[in-house]
Structure 1
């Protein structure tokens, strides 16, 4: 009799073992790197074999390409533009289970926690290239460190669960700004034929341009400079403004007709729009230098930007330490 009772008990224990269900006590994705479903970073996720933690944000107002800390509220009730959801499944997960346009029918969600309050905190850091031999740097991407504070999850058939802090992890993006600094005619700078005061001097390619706008006329005097003594002024916010702009793909290209308008045209579309940081005489940064020679009746103004840093919001990159805008020919 004892033998039969033992067999019955053993069979009962077997039936009570894990049948595929996953019992979740807390969310834990330590050392799991978040991944994005697409380039617009609107759906991020952490993935384990049978668990997923999803973070959905809008395209505008999510991962911002500008250094700083950004805080977003998770809407009460869990519905809105910012959503955090934990799910457990009855089988092994792959990325297509999260990002597929039509999610597979298996595995199935067996448990779901929906964040109903809390804050999403995103700290954005610019990633900059090593300084090149010519002194230039590039913006090569961003790191977005994401964590939650006071996040509360609504759980079916259980009490809500709150985390004072919960690290989601860091996701990175890549870019390359500036993409190029090679002009179509590196030796020749340009001005507008109707610009008798030479206020706007530039060089360009089809994809980008660098310009000095509202240039101080004293820099371009038709007077020969002494050897090793170029005329020098600082980059400024009103006079001697320096721009770097690049074109958005498939919207057109820069031509000479673009530059001589009172304001910049809307076509082609600008992809990157940067302005030179004001110069500092004490640090010898942000300078414009002009060397002038005379050949026959023509003056040749060689224009160089020295140690200029370009700005966009809180982003920066450095032009080469000595960056030639080209030579402007002027025949009085």
Structure 2
């Protein structure tokens, strides 16, 4: 009996000392800031001697918000990789970013993801002007998580139903909006009722279509004339890769250059609330000067939006009777 008890005790000790798990069973990088290698499509997180990194195409991170409930999804495969490593000392980006990574510290443990899905939710980072309540997009936050991810560990697979990688932030150059207060009516033809404001490679275009004669009547206003942005009163901001002039918009076929790089379209207005075009007319010499204010107008590209603020001056132009 004593021999049997000794054997049972020994078996319990062996079982307790070797449960088949890795040295690091629980990994958590959710609170660690993510960085991107400058010359590689690799996003990584470092925590002491641990590193987790994702290899996915940079084009995945489009400058566009995702719709709630519809994240960007990528299958984990030979193109979209997720890897966890444990080193024998604290690690830096030099172990992952250079073409030839540093040889030290040494990798002592590696988990390769063999299946699952990468889900990415994108939200715009905005700055707000407290004076006029305008906003500008300065970057994007990409929240990354893995769903039903399976890691192949040295001694077998381990699966997480959901694993939060965390946030990866990018920055974007703010739109210049270098416009002055001088707008101009299109000179493409007498029936073209577009109004332009140009600034280098930027163009702000207001197309009032059939509403032009009413909105810009040659009469001094006692109270501003108003209209809502809608399918007949369109407003768009266009950014090109080079300087732009009225000639570009007069062409029957869109010119190959300059190249349009961004276009933001105004969201349709709500009566007495938002998206309001306001016109004040005064005399100027023998003509009439029309000053256009945009009240609480929002511009949209894809799923991303920003606000021009409570009162944005589009500009003034002159008509003659």
Q: TM-score range by the shorter chain?
A: 0.7 to 0.9
Map residues 115-194 of structure 1 onto 2, 5 A cutoff: 115-156=113-154, 158-177=155-174, 179-183=175-179, 186-194=180-188
Shift in Å at residue 74 of structure 1? 3.1
The answer to whether the 8 A contact 1:219-1:233 is kept is no
Shift in Å at residue 102 of structure 1? 1.8
Q: Pick the aligned partner of 1:240 from 227, 233, 257.
A: 233
Shift in Å at residue 137 of structure 1? 1.2
Residue matched to 1:269: 259
Map residues 1-332 of structure 1 onto 2, 5 A cutoff: 23-29=23-29, 31-38=31-38, 42-62=41-61, 65-68=64-67, 69-75=70-76, 78-80=77-79, 82-156=80-154, 158-177=155-174, 179-183=175-179, 186-215=180-209, 216-227=211-222, 229-236=223-230, 238-247=231-240, 251-262=241-252, 264-283=254-273, 285-332=274-321
1:93/1:241 Cα in 2 relative to 1: closer, same or farther (>3 Å)?
same
1:268/1:44 Cα in 2 relative to 1: closer, same or farther (>3 Å)?
same
Q: Distance in 1 between matches of 2:299 and 2:281?
A: 26
Q: Distance in 2 between matches of 1:275 and 1:255?
A: 19
The answer to whether the 8 A contact 1:219-1:232 is kept is no
1:28/1:297 Cα in 2 relative to 1: closer, same or farther (>3 Å)?
closer
1:163/1:100 Cα in 2 relative to 1: closer, same or farther (>3 Å)?
same
More moved, 91-100 vs 295-304: 295-304
Residue matched to 1:19: none
1:29/1:132 Cα in 2 relative to 1: closer, same or farther (>3 Å)?
closer
Q: Deviations over 1:262-309 (max 9, x none)?
A: 4653422333310001011142x1111222233453222222222211
The answer to whether the 8 A contact 1:305-1:324 is kept is yes
Say which SS state the counterpart of residue 257 (structure 1) adopts: helix
Q: Distance in 2 between matches of 1:260 and 1:273?
A: 18
Shift in Å at residue 162 of structure 1? 0.6
Q: Distance in 1 between matches of 2:302 and 2:72?
A: 18
Shift in Å at residue 71 of structure 1? 4.2
1:120/1:221 Cα in 2 relative to 1: closer, same or farther (>3 Å)?
closer
1:205/1:62 Cα in 2 relative to 1: closer, same or farther (>3 Å)?
closer
Q: Distance in 2 between matches of 1:189 and 1:289?
A: 15
Q: Distance in 1 between matches of 2:285 and 2:136?
A: 41
Structure 2: runs of 5+ lacking an equivalent: 1-21
Alignment TM-score, normalising by the size of structure 1 = 0.80
Q: Distance in 2 between matches of 1:323 and 1:55?
A: 43
Alignment TM-score, normalising by the size of structure 2 = 0.83
Residue matched to 1:15: none
Q: Distance in 2 between matches of 1:262 and 1:231?
A: 32
The answer to whether the 8 A contact 1:143-1:173 is kept is yes
Residue matched to 1:17: none
Structure 1: runs of 5+ lacking an equivalent: 1-21
Shift in Å at residue 233 of structure 1? 0.9
RMSD across aligned positions (CA): 2.4
